[in-house]
Amino acid sequence: MLKKIPVEVKNALYIVSGLLCCAAAYNLYLIPNDIAAGGFTGIGQLVNHFLPISVGTVSIILNVPLFLLSMRSLGLRFGLRSILAMLGLSLFIDHIPFPVATNDMLLATVFGGALGGLGFGLVLRGSATTGGSDMLASLVHRAFPFVRVSVAIFAVDGVVILASAFVFDQQAAMYALITTFLMNLVVDLVLEGPNSAHSYFIISDQSDCIAQRVMDEMERGVTAFAACGMYSKQQKQVLLCVVNRFETIQLRRIVFSIDPDAFVIANKAHEVLGEGFTDLTMK
């Protein structure tokens, strides 16, 4: 069904849904409980504690210079989507009247982190970004190539969380650290999907028979590589097959029912793109 929706409409649906989730996470859970989970929104929470400036306004003030510096590298479409996403997040946080969901710090940490991660993941799925520490880290890396992007992000978020220990209290900072971890975990889950794939290298004297049964019974592709056993000096074929986690047992049964002496290496694939797995549409 989603394939029939125009690309930009699909992106807009992802982005708007993501922004609503993010705004809900901050207004329902994080902001009312003083959990500043890094990023420019976290800085906004710290500033708002001392000055009558809204969290969203602070985020816009900090993000605008970054977008001006990054527009050329972002590209026109991605840049425009990201500017709108950044402005939308700030406006949603400031103007959508979500009620406070809980005053329990642990519940706020878990649900705020999970809902925020879902939101940011959906925005990224919509080929956009809300700016913040990720964009700042990219600019720092561009200016100082020896500083890795991941290190710069960790440094920015770490400074915000550390500052929250002094602005709010140490307990709030510790909860903020957990929230940041949960957000990153859920973002990865949204981007990669729950059905992680596994790649199998199969070494067997019955490789032709195994490959045929896998293709016939599982409807999965198989690739054969020519190889040589360095101990036996015998020429063999190494099969490569990628399956989802629900098909791993079936693959093993096929292999070992044909050749009980087969040698199998299983690896968890970080991401699989192509027919039968993720349908990646370039934008």
DSSP string over 225-275: EEEE-TTT--EEEEEEEEEEGGGHHHHHHHHHHH-TT-EEEEEEES--BST
- Domain of 205 in residue numbering reads as 197-269
Residues 47, 185 share a domain: yes
Residues 138, 37 share a domain: yes
Kindly state whether residue 277 falls inside one of the protein's structural domains.
Answer: no
- The mean pLDDT value for 101-125 works out to 92
Confidence band (pLDDT; 50, 70, 90) for 32? very high
pLDDT of residue 9: 86
- The mean pLDDT value for 240-264 works out to 87
- The mean pLDDT value for 202-224 works out to 90
Confidence band (pLDDT; 50, 70, 90) for 276? low
- The mean pLDDT value for 14-21 works out to 94
Confidence band (pLDDT; 50, 70, 90) for 272? low
- The mean pLDDT value for 188-209 works out to 82
Residues 109, 239 share a domain: no
Residues 54, 151 share a domain: yes
Residues 161, 90 share a domain: yes
Is the pLDDT assigned to residue 30 strictly greater than 90?
A: yes
Kindly state whether residue 280 falls inside one of the protein's structural domains.
Answer: no
Work out how many domains the chain is built from and give that number: 2
Listed residues 162, 192, 222: the one ending a domain: 192
Distance of alpha carbon 271 from alpha carbon 97, whole angstroms: 38
pLDDT of residue 82: 85
pLDDT of residue 17: 95
Residues 204, 122 share a domain: no
Kindly state whether residue 118 falls inside one of the protein's structural domains.
Answer: yes
Is the pLDDT assigned to residue 24 strictly greater than 90?
A: yes
pLDDT in tens, 149-171: 667 778 888 899 999 999 998 99
Confidence band (pLDDT; 50, 70, 90) for 133? confident
Residues 117, 142 share a domain: yes
Kindly state whether residue 120 falls inside one of the protein's structural domains.
Answer: yes
Listed residues 143, 165, 192: the one ending a domain: 192
Distance of alpha carbon 112 from alpha carbon 118, whole angstroms: 10
Distance of alpha carbon 212 from alpha carbon 232, whole angstroms: 26
Residues 220, 97 share a domain: no
pLDDT in tens, 40-92: 899 999 999 998 999 999 999 998 888 888 777 667 778 888 889 899 999 99
Is the pLDDT assigned to residue 109 strictly greater than 60?
A: yes
Q: 4: buried, middle or exposed (CB in 10 Å: 19+, 13-18, 0-12)?
A: exposed
Kindly state whether residue 7 falls inside one of the protein's structural domains.
Answer: yes
Residues 255, 158 share a domain: no
Kindly state whether residue 103 falls inside one of the protein's structural domains.
Answer: yes
Distance of alpha carbon 161 from alpha carbon 279, whole angstroms: 37
Distance of alpha carbon 28 from alpha carbon 32, whole angstroms: 7
Residues 63, 203 share a domain: no
pLDDT of residue 209: 94
Kindly state whether residue 38 falls inside one of the protein's structural domains.
Answer: yes
Listed residues 167, 192, 217: the one ending a domain: 192
Looking from the CA of 134 toward its CB, the CA atoms found within 13 Å total 10
Residues 167, 81 share a domain: yes
pLDDT of residue 281: 52
Residue 117: Cβ within 10 Å count: 25
Is the pLDDT assigned to residue 190 strictly greater than 80?
A: yes
Which amino acid would we find at residue 45? Q
* pTM greater than 0.85: no
Helices (H) and strands (E) in the chain, counts: 10, 4
Q: Specify the higher pLDDT residue, 280 or 201.
A: 201
Q: What is the CATH number of the domain that holds 219?
A: 3.30.70.120
Kindly state whether residue 147 falls inside one of the protein's structural domains.
Answer: yes
pLDDT of residue 275: 63
Residues 187, 201 share a domain: no
